[in-house]
Amino acid sequence: MTTEINLEVTAHSSDRLDKWLSDRLPDISRSRLQKLIAEGHVQVNQQVCTSKKIAVKIGDRLQINLPEVLPLDIKAENIPLEILYEDDSLIIVNKPVGLVVHPAAGHWDGTLVNALLAHCPNLAGIGGVQRPGIVHRLDKNTSGAIAIAKTDQAHQHLQAQLKAKTAQREYLGLVYGSPATSSGRIDQPIGRHLVDRKKMAVVSEEQGGRASITRWQVQERLGNYSLMHFQLETGRTHQIRVHSAFIGHPIIGDPVYGSGHSLGVNLAGQALHAWRLSLQHPITGELIQAIASPPPAFMTLLEVLRKRISAQNPKLLSPDSLQRYT
């Protein structure tokens, strides 16, 4: 079954076709777009175009036909899962740092999907053969709660909740610096970095950025560092990491958007954790709230920072216990 995407060039541009499409379709790699163009799956003004180098111009109407992806031979693997919630419709797990969500180039096995297929043998094909059951994503080095649908009905329902912003995704992050205010809202479009195509960045909508909104609140001030609570209104790739860096408070341990330093604690990834996931059950309608305990390294870093600030000035330390987020 072919998926059709229709786009229109609404602003002046001299970009070549593959670059223009890549800026507006960040979930499709540029190499795949180039292959789609070469194979005749892209039309410009109702004419098949096989040249990736033609320049698009204002008023052009583009049609991209995505052919059905051939099934991957994804094998089930007995990888332990920390299950936060499970029934016949969905499962919510606490994904560890370092676990890739679904198979892709360079990670064909050892992923969350491989583990899920062993745990839920009937998962194959739900919502697509390449990413069975996956409703939303977490970066490889971000831990925390992630929901997986067990049926097509649940998959469609959960995706609709994310689109309608009725499902809530809350994160905890340790960042550099101390924001001047206690809370805020970042409303900045995110797209592919204009130079380094492997990164995301805050870019204008004219340059391919898509609307992105992150709410944040300071939970604890720890001297030159802060524990932050983030809530997503949109779900762009690397959204919290990009927005945090944009406001001058990158996530500790982030090798792409921050300094990458872990302050002496052996962090396997950035200090960002999908802490709480709230959604409506796709069948019963009841509210489900899953809380994922942060990984030990995250809590160790938080304790180290608390001890540092306590040694400097005990009055600055929050009285909250480490168990508050578990």
Contact status, residue 230 vs residue 214, Cβ threshold 8 Å: yes
Of 66, 90, 120, which closes a domain? 66
Whole-number Å distance between alpha carbons of 56 and 12 = 9
pLDDT at 70: 58
Residues 58 and 194 in one domain: no
CA–CA distance, 299 with 292 (Å, rounded to integer): 13
What value does the mean pLDDT take over residues 158-172?
93
- Catalytic site positions: 139
The two three-digit tokens of residue 195, written as one number: 């130079």
- The yes-or-no verdict on residue 309 having pLDDT over 80 is yes
Predicted local confidence at residue 321, as pLDDT: 41
CATH of the domain at 288: 3.30.2350.10
- What CATH number is attached to the domain comprising 48? 3.10.290.10
Asked whether residue 202 is assigned to any structural domain, the reply reads yes
Q: What are the tokens at 274?
A: 């999908």
Three-class SS of residue 278? strand
Structurally, how many domains does the chain consist of?
Answer: 2
What domain range is 206 assigned to? 168-325
54 and 189 share one domain? no
Whether residue 141 is contained in a domain is answered as no
> What 3-state DSSP class applies to 272?
strand
Whether residue 174 is found in the same domain as residue 310: yes
**Residue-level pLDDT at 199:** 93
Do the strands 90-95 and 143-149 form a parallel or antiparallel pair, or are they unpaired? antiparallel
Instruction: Kindly state the DSSP code that residue 121 receives in the 8-state scheme.
Output: G
Domain stops at, among 22, 45, 66: 66
The predicted model gives 31-48 an average pLDDT of: 91
Radius of gyration over every alpha carbon of the chain, rounded to an integer in angstroms: 21
Alpha helices in 233-288 (DSSP H): 239-246
User: The dihedral of CA 12, 15, 17, 20: what is its sign?
Assistant: negative
In a domain, 236, yes or no: yes
Question: Could you tell me if 281 and 89 are in contact, meaning their C-beta atoms sit under 8 angstroms apart?
Answer: yes
For residue 69, is pLDDT > 90? no
Q: Which of 14, 35, 66 is the last residue of a domain?
A: 66
Sequence-separated (6 or more) residues with CB below 8 Å from residue 195: none
- The mean pLDDT value for 282-302 works out to 96
- Taking Cα atoms as reference points, which of 232, 228, 268, 217 lies closest to residue 250? 228
Helix residue ranges, H only, 25-131 = 30-38, 112-119
Q: Is residue 306 part of a domain?
A: yes
Per-residue pLDDT of 140-163, as tens digits, reads 999 999 999 998 889 989 989 998
Higher pLDDT, 38 or 127: 38
- Alpha helices of 201-323 — where are they, by DSSP H? 239-246, 296-312
Q: Is residue 218 part of a domain?
A: yes
Q: Among 33-37, 73-77, 240-244, 313-317, which is the least confidently predicted range? A: 313-317
- Token pair 């360079």 is at which residue? 106
Q: What is the pTM of this model?
A: 0.78
pLDDT at 260: 65
Measured from the Cβ of residue 307, the count of other Cβ atoms closer than 10 Å reads 12
In a domain, 125, yes or no: no
In a domain, 142, yes or no: no
Residue 36 falls inside a structural domain: yes
